[in-house]
Chains A and B, each alone.
Chain A
Amino acid sequence: MSRFDDRLEQDMQHIADTATPSSTAWEAIQTRIAEQADHTELEITMLKPNPKTEPAVPVRMLMAAAAAILLVVVGLVALLNDGEEQSLRVTETDTTVPATTAAPGTTSVPATSEPSSASAGATAVALAEEFISARAAYDGDAARALVADDATIVQAFEWATSPDDYPLLSDLERAHGMRFLDPTCTAGSPGRVRCTYTLESDLTVALGVGPYDASFPLEVEDGLITHITHNRTTDGGQVGNYFHDVYRLGIVPWLVANHPEDLSLMRGQVGVGPPLITAESVALWEQHIPEFLASFEAADLAIAEDFITARNAHDGEAVLALFADDPFVRDDLRRDVNGEFAGFDEIDYVSSGEFDRVTGVELVDPTCEAGSPGRVRCTYTWANAWTRALGDDRYTGNSFVFDIADGRIESLTHTFAQGPVDGFEDHISEVTLLWVQANHPEDVPTMFNDSSFAQSAESLALWETYTAEFAASPAGN
């Protein structure tokens, strides 16, 4: 082996030595295995036929399939528990109890087993719902009160290491603006509950990632939670999306660039792994997350300002480049004759930019401010060569509201303060139409269509000529 080989081997060992396998890995793996079993149970329960709708033969086939899966699950569970622990009982009733804000359409399977078992399941579900509600309200003391003193907490996923961490964990989650949306808790095998929810946070919104499917697999005993893990890291079978998107691609590079000295205090060791639950760490997260979000605000404001600059430059291509793929657009000035809003694909920004150019449109005195993460609102006064010539400055207080993610406009709402018909189009149409009718009646059909101003090449050329003529005429002065 050469010296180079030696060096490679040695340095690679150094790198591998910085890996920090968690001390609770075995518990985490057991949880995952149990989750697999729970999922299988749910599938089995869902295979139960509806006697009113299912024909007899498929029912028997489905039941046979269920029985076969039951046998496999029993075997797996017996292998897992090695006969010492209480086996996962696949006959357990699935007592799905949607939480108060559960998403519509959630699968709910009616209870069919022993009343006492169903009751215990419902109690466990109620406890789990209370826990997730406390988390959602950032009430760490309430969450702590639901957890047994000797509970096992899988730190790599839940971030806490002991039940007494919950007050600080809630502060940390508040700092992240963590939101637990549409929670639904389902009882599995005895004492096991799985709560699923949709996760988003101020960070995910600012970064334009997520929301993520997340879950709390919990174990409950004697009215307290005894085992907690927290899967906020998987989405569609992909590993680590939340961590990857929010931390590795988001705030960690920013911290490395701006506060490298704090990283080990916030994430421990060499700056990797979940956030640390210490007062010092939480204080740093509380300090740095708003700074990080503010950096996004500045970037978002710049995008909104670029939009207005591009509009004022009448550069339709530049306007289009600021939008994300398939954005939502609702624009008071982009409606058809029936008042229906045009979709993004129906708006020709390039042609309308050209129309704005020949008629001298300007968004005057734009003022933009950032709101919630990713949202910017700009107000402005609308003017064009015709209104300027008339001294008509009535078109004030209009606004654009942008939702911006990852540097692109995902949603745009344009509100025209005076209303599109009564305040703007009728008025401008009337002024221009009357003038064109009086001075160039033969060009009216070219310059106007059924609903608004025509934007053909021929029309644009006429608008450019007559806008200049109007501005220089006595009518325009």
Chain B
Amino acid sequence: MEAMRRVSVKQRGPQTIEDLFHAEYNGMVRLAYTLVNNNAEAEEIVQDSFAEVHRRFDELRQPGAYLRTTVVLRCRSLLRRRRVMERHAPEPLEQLPASACELWDVLNKLDEDQRVAVVLRYLGQYRASEIAEIMDMPAATVRSHVRRGLAILRKELEQ
């Protein structure tokens, strides 16, 4: 149902920030959560992003795309800040299946670009051209990040 509503909104474009919220909020929190490993921070990022979209809503032709880019940018900013602090401890995920726990650990080992590209590809189901737009880099670079990220994941997960 939510997927249908999302398609519908995408076709017409959200008329209000509330439409956009209903269409995108949960998906954006899931995406941000998978990138930053933390629910409270994921929600912070997404809510701040919605506030930013609201500020520019009238001038945006594709608020949904702008929202996704903003969320990913903010996630990347947080990941960079964590890297600087070099002490981030991912939160425990006792309820996950073992294979997902393993994936979680290995995702944390990928560099930021690889991680974002792989998550957008496999969780967000975005095409390379869409990821390129979100990450503000050429599609070929995105493919390279996905390929390298996958190689690491495959090596670590299939050991």
Which A residues are closer than 8 A to B by beta carbons?
Answer: 4-5, 7-9, 11-22, 25-26, 28-29, 32-33, 35-36, 75-76, 79-80, 82, 156, 233-234, 238-240, 243-244, 248-249, 252-253, 256, 260, 263-264, 269-274
User: How far apart are the CA atoms of A252 and B91 in the complex, in Å?
Assistant: 8
18 contacts between A and B (CB under 8 A): A8-B118, A8-B122, A12-B103, A15-B96, A15-B103, A16-B30, A17-B30, A19-B29, A19-B33, A25-B29, A29-B17, A233-B44, A243-B38, A243-B44, A248-B88, A253-B89, A271-B91, A272-B39
B25, B26, B33, B150 pick with most chain A CB within 10 angstroms = B33
Give A36 to B100 CA distance when docked, in angstroms.
39
Give 9 closest A-B pairs by Cβ, nearest first.
A19-B33, A16-B30, A32-B51, A14-B100, A11-B100, A240-B41, A253-B89, A11-B103, A21-B29
The reply to whether B122 and A12 form a contact with Cβ atoms under 8 Å apart is yes
Nearest CB in chain A: distance from B155 CB, A:
11
> Are B103's CB and A32's CB within 8 A?
no
Q: How far does the Cβ of B60 sit from chain A's closest Cβ, in whole Å?
A: 13
Interface presence of B23 (CB below 8 A): no
Q: Is there an interface contact between A240 and B40, defined as CB atoms closer than 8 Å?
A: yes
CB closest chain-B residue, reference A154 = B47
Additional pairs, 11, CB under 8 Å, beyond known A28-B47, A33-B51: A4-B154, A12-B103, A18-B93, A18-B95, A21-B29, A33-B50, A248-B88, A249-B88, A252-B89, A272-B38, A274-B40
Q: Is there contact, CB below 8 Å, between A156 and B40?
A: yes
Q: What is the interface size of chain B, counting residues whose CB is below 8 A from a CB of the partner?
A: 60
Distance (whole angstroms) from the CB of A40 to the closest CB of chain B: 10
Among A9, A239, A272, point to the contact of B122 (Cβ < 8 A).
A9
On B, residues with C-beta under 8 Å from A are 16-18, 21, 25-26, 29-34, 38-48, 50-51, 54-55, 57-58, 74, 77-78, 81-82, 85, 87-89, 91-97, 99-100, 102-104, 107, 118-119, 122-123, 150, 153-154, 157-158
Which residue among A4, A19, A264 has the maximum number of chain B CB atoms within 10 Å of its CB? A19
List, in ascending order, chain B residues with CB within 8 A of A17's CB. Answer: 30
CB-CB under 8 A from A260, the residues of chain B are 92
Q: Min CB distance, B88 to chain A, in Å? A: 7
Task: Say how far B147's CB is from chain A's closest CB, in angstroms.
Answer: 13
- Main SS class of interface, B: helix
Which of B47, B78, B81, B158 lies in contact with A29, CB distance below 8 A?
B47
CB of A29 to closest CB in B, whole Å: 5
- The answer to whether B92 touches A239, judged by C-beta atoms less than 8 angstroms apart, is no
Q: How distant is the Cα of A15 from the Cα of B29 in the complex, in angstroms?
A: 12
> CA separation between A261 and B99, bound complex, in Å?
22
Q: From A5, A239, A256, A270, give the contact of B74 (CB < 8 A).
A: A239
Which residue of chain A has its CB nearest to the CB of B50?
A: A29
Known A18-B93, A272-B91; judge A80-B40 contact (CB<8 A).
Answer: no
Known: A14-B100, A19-B33, A80-B17. A270 touches B91 (CB 8 A): yes
A233 to B97: give the CA distance in the assembly, Å.
31
- A7–chain B nearest beta-carbon distance, Å: 7
Contact A36 B40 (CB under 8 A): no
Provide the bound-state CA to CA distance between A270 and B104, in Å.
14
Decide: A25 and B43 in contact? CB cutoff 8 A: yes
Report whether B55 and A36 are in contact in the complex, using a CB–CB cutoff of 8 Å: yes
Quote the shortest CB–CB distance from B143 to chain A (angstroms): 15
Minimum C-beta distance from B157 to chain A (A): 8
- B99 CB → nearest A CB, Å: 5
Contacts of B74 in A (CB 8 A): 239
Question: Are A76 and B54 in contact, with the CB atoms below 8 A?
Answer: yes
A14 with B39: in contact, given A29-B21, A36-B55, A239-B78 (CB under 8 Å)? no
Asked if B123 and A13 make an inter-chain contact with CB atoms under 8 angstroms apart, the answer reads: yes
Point out the residue from A5, A22, A248, A270 that lies within 8 Å of B43, measured CB to CB. Answer: A22
With A15-B100, A272-B38 as known contacts, state yes or no: A32 contacts B47, CB within 8 Å.
yes
Known contacts A12-B122, A21-B26, A26-B18, A80 near B88 by CB under 8 Å: no
Closest to B97 in A: A14
Contact of A273 with B58 in the complex, beta carbons under 8 Å: no
Bound-complex Cα distance A177 to B107 (A)? 36
**Given A26-B18, A270-B91, are A238 and B81 neighbors across the interface (CB < 8 Å)?**
yes
